[in-house]
């Protein structure tokens, strides 16, 4: 069902067993067969085929790039010149990118083939890919289930075998949670590792772009290709990008930690807990060192995350006013009703909720009590996480408390869904990288993941640890 890893793919192309054009055709066939999963908002047929022809010629000439032949789906929040980009929102339904995001440019320069834009939650706000204007994305492993969110379409594109890899964005878990729910690999790089130039913003002190793929090797290579300083994004670090691919013969025992409070959480599914402890004992048997860590802040992670991200979102989304950019209403009588109606018609319910929440926590009288306090609390969480990581190679834990949830649940209280992010928000709150790898299948038939968090700008270690965990007997 899943597609070849990059190494296998490139060997198959070089030996003439397949070609880039044939691979694109296979992707299109699969996308058509699985159209009811609603993974893609749009397939970029013409540009995908013409890039495939170009890369086939490069293979023949021996000049192909590092990602040559890899068919990639991009989340619908990355600009690709001459193609539409909507953030899965009615607000940007007809918007066309004027330029390439740096990530897209780097992918194209490395000879990846961009197949199309994948669906997910509107403006990346959600955990189930149900808030999209284009309708929910379904999980390829069970179409009654959510693929996770917000990068649910990207995870589903890989899990269904339509693409070799995909790009998502992660603000509070939106790459790692869908990867876990769809049985694939996903990484959120360190804050500042990957340029956000041309990426539609949700919460700018959190957002990171990263890949989803079928193997750690592919994940590491794509991360390496899309990383690096960018004059168009001042928040993007110019720190050198090391070789991220894992070191094959690393024999040194690892020093790992895990949070007791995370594993003690009553919200954690018992089978996922059991599998975690099994993995832990295999790690110990293999000679690795495990430290039990205390983290007294689990209960406040979600409130801090949702106060800060909604505040940032309310500011980032102020630009969609129906005048400068975005959907414009046809019913208005004055400037105020033009703004009001454009925004009311253009945004969905969850986005509106977050804009209102964010505006509230930033409003005078409440700023100090909510936003200011959450900023301070974030610093405490970050400092404590960094301290926990010092002397360790990484911190491990389950990616999510549960497996994929059914589509179409009636969330009378939206915070029920917010709580599902409890294990994934710590990394973006702290700016550190984190990966999710598939670790098991639940008796309910759905997969779940193991998360590895590492120190800032040390993606190599999390790839390395993930590889060692995956290779445990
Ligand atoms: N589920 C989280 C939220 O709704 C994370 C979203 C994301 O990472 N983009 O905000």
CATH number, position 364: 3.90.1300.10
Per residue in 196-241, pLDDT (tens digit) is 999 999 999 999 999 999 999 999 999 999 999 999 999 999 999 9
Coil/strand/helix, residue 399:
coil
- Given a cut of 80, whether residue 246 has pLDDT beyond it is no
250 pLDDT band (50/70/90 cuts)?
low
User: What span, in angstroms and rounded, lies between the C-alpha atoms of 234 and 419?
Assistant: 32
Q: Comparing 130-144, 208-222, 383-397, 407-421, which segment has the lowest mean pLDDT?
A: 407-421
Report CA(267)–ligand 1 centroid distance (Å): 19
Catalytic, out of 47, 86, 128, 174: 174
Nearest ligand 1 atom, CA 309: 10
Nearest ligand 1 atom, CA 124: 9
Instruction: Supply the residue whose CA is at minimum distance from atom 10 of ligand 1.
Output: 125
User: What span, in angstroms and rounded, lies between the C-alpha atoms of 50 and 21?
Assistant: 9
**Average pLDDT over all residues of the chain:** 96
Under 8 Å between Cβ of 59 and 69: yes
Predicted local distance difference test score (pLDDT) of residue 249: 57
Helices 6-14 and 20-33 pack at an angle, to 10 degrees, of 130
Nearest ligand 1 atom, CA 171: 8
Q: What is the pTM of this model?
A: 0.97
User: What span, in angstroms and rounded, lies between the C-alpha atoms of 426 and 340?
Assistant: 35
Which mutation among 87, 89, 125, 429 tests ligand 1's pocket best, with the greatest number of atoms within 8 A of CB? Answer: 125
For residues 83-104, give the mean pLDDT. 98
Strand order in the sheet with 289-293: 40-43, 113-118, 71-75, 165-170, 208-213, 185-188, 434-441, 447-453, 394-398, 255-259, 289-293
Q: Is the CB of 127 under 6 A from ligand 1?
A: yes
261 is catalytic: no
On the 0-12 / 13-18 / 19+ scale of CB atoms within 10 A, 252 is exposed
Chain CA centroid to CA 251, Å:
31
The domain in which residue 108 lies consists of 1-473
Q: Is the CB of 421 under 6 A from ligand 1?
A: yes
75 is catalytic: yes
Per residue in 149-192, pLDDT (tens digit) is 999 999 999 999 999 999 999 999 999 999 999 999 999 999 99
Residue 222 sits at the vertex; the CA angle it makes with 61 and 454, to the nearest 5 degrees, is 155
Report CA(258)–ligand 1 centroid distance (Å): 23
- Given a cut of 80, whether residue 73 has pLDDT beyond it is yes
Per residue in 16-45, pLDDT (tens digit) is 999 999 999 999 999 999 999 999 999 999
User: What span, in angstroms and rounded, lies between the C-alpha atoms of 180 and 146?
Assistant: 11
Query: How many domains does one find in the chain?
Result: 1
455 is catalytic: no
Nearest ligand 1 atom, CA 149: 1
Report CA(61)–ligand 1 centroid distance (Å): 43
More confident residue, 331 or 420: 331
Q: Is the CB of 174 under 6 A from ligand 1?
A: yes
Name the percent of the chain lying above pLDDT 70. 99
On the 0-12 / 13-18 / 19+ scale of CB atoms within 10 A, 457 is buried
With residue 464 as reference, give the H or E element that holds it.
helix 459-470
Under 8 Å between Cβ of 73 and 115: yes
């Amino acid at each position: 069902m899943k597609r070849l890893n990059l190494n296998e793919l490139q060997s198959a192309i070089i030996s003439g067993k397949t070609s880039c054009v044939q691979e694109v055709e296979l992707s299109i066939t699969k996308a058509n067969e699985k159209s009811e999963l609603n993974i893609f908002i749009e397939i970029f047929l013409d540009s995908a085929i013409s890039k495939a022809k170009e890369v086939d010629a490069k293979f023949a000439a021996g000049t192909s790039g590092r990602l040559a032949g890899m068919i990639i789906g991009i989340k619908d929040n990355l600009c690709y010149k001459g193609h539409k980009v909507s953030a899965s929102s009615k607000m940007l339904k007809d918007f066309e990118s004027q330029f390439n995001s740096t990530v897209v440019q780097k992918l194209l320069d490395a000879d990846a083939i961009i197949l199309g834009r994948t669906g997910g939650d509107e403006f990346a706000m959600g955990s189930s890919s149900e808030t999209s204007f284009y309708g929910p994305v379904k999980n390829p492993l069970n179409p009654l289930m959510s693929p996770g969110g917000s990068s649910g379409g990207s995870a589903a594109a890989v899990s269904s075998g339509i693409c070799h890899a995909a790009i998502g964005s992660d603000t509070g878990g939106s790459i790692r949670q869908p990867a876990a729910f769809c049985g694939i690999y996903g990484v959120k790089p360190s804050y500042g590792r990957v340029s956000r130039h041309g990426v539609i913003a949700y919460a700018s002190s959190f957002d990171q772009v990263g890949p989803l793929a079928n193997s750690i090797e592919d994940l590491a290579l794509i991360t390496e290709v899309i990383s690096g300083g960018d004059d168009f994004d001042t928040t993007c670090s110019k720190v050198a990008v090391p070789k991220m691919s894992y070191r094959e013969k690393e024999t040194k025992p690892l020093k790992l930690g895990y949070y007791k409070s995370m594993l003690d959480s009553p919200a954690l599914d018992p089978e996922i807990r059991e599998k975690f402890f099994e993995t832990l004992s295999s790690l110990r048997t293999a000679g690795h060192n495990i430290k039990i860590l205390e983290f007294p802040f689990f209960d406040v992670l979600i409130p801090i995350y949702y106060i800060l991200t909604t505040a940032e979102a309310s500011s980032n989304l102020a630009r969609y006013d129906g005048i400068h950019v975005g959907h414009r209403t046809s019913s208005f009588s004055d400037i105020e009703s033009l703004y009001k109606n454009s925004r009311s018609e253009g945004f969905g319910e969850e986005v509106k909720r977050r804009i209102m929440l964010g505006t509230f926590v930033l409003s005078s009288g409440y700023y100090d009590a909510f936003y200011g306090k959450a900023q301070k609390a974030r610093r405490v969480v970050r400092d404590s996480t960094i301290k926990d990581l010092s002397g360790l190679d990484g911190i491990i834990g389950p990616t999510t408390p549960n497996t994929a949830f059914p589509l179409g649940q009636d969330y009378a209280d939206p915070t029920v869904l917010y709580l599902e992010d409890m294990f994934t928000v710590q990394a973006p709150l702290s700016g550190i990288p984190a990966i999710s790898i598939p670790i098991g299948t639940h008796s309910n038939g759905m997969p779940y993941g193991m998360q590895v968090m590492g120190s800032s700008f040390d993606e190599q270690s999390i790839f390395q640890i993930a590889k060692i965990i995956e290779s445990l007997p």
